[in-house]
Chains A and B, each alone.
Chain A
């Protein structure tokens, strides 16, 4: 007899219904209990964000709610089909300008050519944080480094930094500050498309936020709020602004989960090796991949 059956027998259906309702109303582990959770401190006295974190959702496929769909490569069949998801946009749908929405649909139809991920280009922010790869946070006092396994992408957060971006980059320039339990990161100085002199095979027009063609330009401004909500959970939230594309700022939010394996580390994922034939192949005599 399962515990639920036992419950039904003893307490009757009404009580069971109450119990189930209570279960759902109770805080999910970590995410949601965050308002009161006080994180352990680093030796420097700040909430300790060190560790390996990873999103466990379908945001990397599509930030917005979506049903399951075939993947972009027929030959891969069900193995790389797109799983369904309820989305992570808190105040959606994404408020595209009408012209930008038309572009987004075009990009969505041409993902294999237009998505930086396919070519092993740097994923940018916030995308790096919810790709299906772990993110390691190495926290010092004046600087925090966040490292993705994908493409060796990484970013430095300058705590209490006031410097404007010294140059535009794919990963942007991030100044951070502590707001009690929350690390608030303000990022700008992003590049948008690609360098026009690149051969067509390497060129892309904009930077995607996911594999569904949601995109930003060099007008991107991101404000992230990261907070421990439990021993093994972070609350991650990013407000995304880009007047070239959206009519107003909009926000995504999701938990990030700790990778608790004792031997956890960022693997070496030098994906240039897997994209080289794709990008340069038509000028090669033979594939280099092996």
Chain B
């Protein structure tokens, strides 16, 4: 497996019949490639400044990538590619994107949504996780192991059919897009629109219009009782780097097994005309034995970013819930794995046929 996301949200995202997601993940995840052409340029590049004198991070950026989230076993001990290897790995992933057998009827490139079409670049890092040094998410604490096991048991007891609209967190989940904060790769919709004023920086993520309006005025975090999906971000400039610390995530979050108890520290540095270095350090002593850090660069892409309007177009929730009730009444023929959204079965089937691995699969 590319990654084990031990979370209710991500397993549900796949299992809920998120057909588009399955296809896109399959296309973008397998490859051993991606971005961050930035390290070499960082030393000499001077970012343009806003009228307020700060580095200008504005514009439209994407974090689509071909780099695997965790370091593949075959690359154990190899944190970095050479320039040439990075380009080769990138080229291979691009090629694979357009030749992999598709699981669904539409062609991903119709949406101009494949990483290469949107501006992804070769990456010297062999995985997005750069700390710990093995490029893997650290082990769960014993406490987290128990918690996650209990959570899975509870889900299993609840059955496979959605009982409420909240049960399905695939495309029909319009409340919060879990990949927006902390930013982790998504199959598409991974565009950030950044606008700066003196005291605030707005980062709007296309998928579900997840926005962060980050104050730069030195204010403290909110009271611990105010916990939200996106957390309360506080930014400050350290030289040419924007440092953003985010806390107070809601316990309704389930980020790789952490129920909103993590803190997030991000560093954004514009390292070239077309790239922003973006690292994310996630700390939660109740969940992982050590902090871990992602390097997920942003690359310039084309605007404008149009309205997402998730809730307005949420036909999935109707159909999924309606079909669940019909199935309970025995009025619906048992669907095949794809229609059912049984990601594990679909993936196994695809895998048997030689397709590549899929981010987000559980177990």
Chain A residues proximal to chain B, CB less than 8 Å: 42-45, 50, 119-122, 136, 138-141, 143-145, 147, 151-152, 154, 156, 158, 166-167, 169-171, 194-195, 197-199, 201-202, 262-263, 265-268, 270, 272-273, 275-277, 279-281, 283-288
Contact = CB atoms under 8 A, between A and B. Distances in A.
A280 B165 contact: yes
B213 interface: yes
B213 A136 contact: yes
A195 B312 CA distance: 8
B176 A199 contact: no
B163 interface: yes
Contacts of B81: none
A121 B29 CA distance: 33
Interface residues of B, number: 49
A10 B86 CA distance: 89
A122 B219 contact: no
B196 A147 contact: no
Given A270-B176, A283-B318, A152 B209 contact: yes
Contacts of B324: 283
B219 to A, nearest CB: 6
8 contacts: A140-B50, A140-B58, A141-B50, A152-B210, A156-B304, A170-B307, A276-B317, A284-B162
Given A272-B175, A280-B317, A284-B163, A265 B198 contact: no
B164 A266 contact: no
Contact of A50 (B162, B197, B232): B197
Contacts of A283: 318, 321-322, 324-325
> Which of A194, A197, A266, A272 has most B Cβ within 10 Å?
A272
Given A140-B195, A263-B219, A276 B209 contact: no
Nearest to B210: A152
B229 A268 contact: yes
Contacts of A267: 228
B249 to A, nearest CB: 11
Contacts of A272: 174-175, 310-311
B50 to A, nearest CB: 7
B213 A270 contact: no
Nearest to B326: A283
Contacts of B330: none
A284 B321 contact: yes
Closest 6 CB pairs of A and B: A288-B164, A283-B321, A288-B166, A43-B51, A268-B228, A280-B165
Interface stretch (B37-45, B199-207, B269-277): B199-207
Interface string B289-312: 000000000000000101101111
A265 B211 contact: no
A152 B314 CA distance: 16
B315 A197 contact: yes
A88 B228 CA distance: 35
Contacts of A44: 51
> Which of A119, A201, A268, A277 has most B Cβ within 10 Å?
A268
B215 interface: yes
B238 interface: no
Given A120-B311, A268-B228, A283-B325, A43 B198 contact: yes
Nearest to B322: A283
B123 to A, nearest CB: 30
Contacts, number: 135
A194 B312 contact: yes
Given A145-B195, A275-B311, A280 B321 contact: yes
Contact of A284 (B52, B164, B202): B164
Contacts of B213: 136, 138, 147, 265-266
A197 B319 CA distance: 11
B195 A147 contact: no
A36 B322 CA distance: 61
Nearest to B176: A270
A210 to B, nearest CB: 19
Nearest to A158: B304
Contacts of B14: none
Contact of B200 (A138, A197, A286): A138
B198 A50 contact: yes
A169 B166 contact: no
B230 interface: yes
Contacts of A158: 304
Nearest to B200: A138
Contact of B165 (A43, A143, A154, A276): A276
Contacts of B82: none
B313 interface: yes
A202 B318 contact: yes
> Which of A152, A263, A266 has most B Cβ within 10 Å?
A152
A154 B206 CA distance: 12
A166 B209 contact: no
> Which of B165, B200, B228 has most A Cβ within 10 Å?
B165
Contacts of B204: 145, 154
A195 to B, nearest CB: 6
Interface in B308-342: 309-315, 317-318, 321-322, 324-325
A267 B250 CA distance: 13
Contact of A147 (B198, B202, B312): B202
A94 B202 CA distance: 36
A270 B175 CA distance: 6
Given A156-B195, A199-B322, 12 more contacts: A44-B51, A45-B51, A121-B311, A122-B309, A169-B309, A194-B312, A198-B318, A262-B219, A272-B310, A276-B175, A283-B321, A288-B167
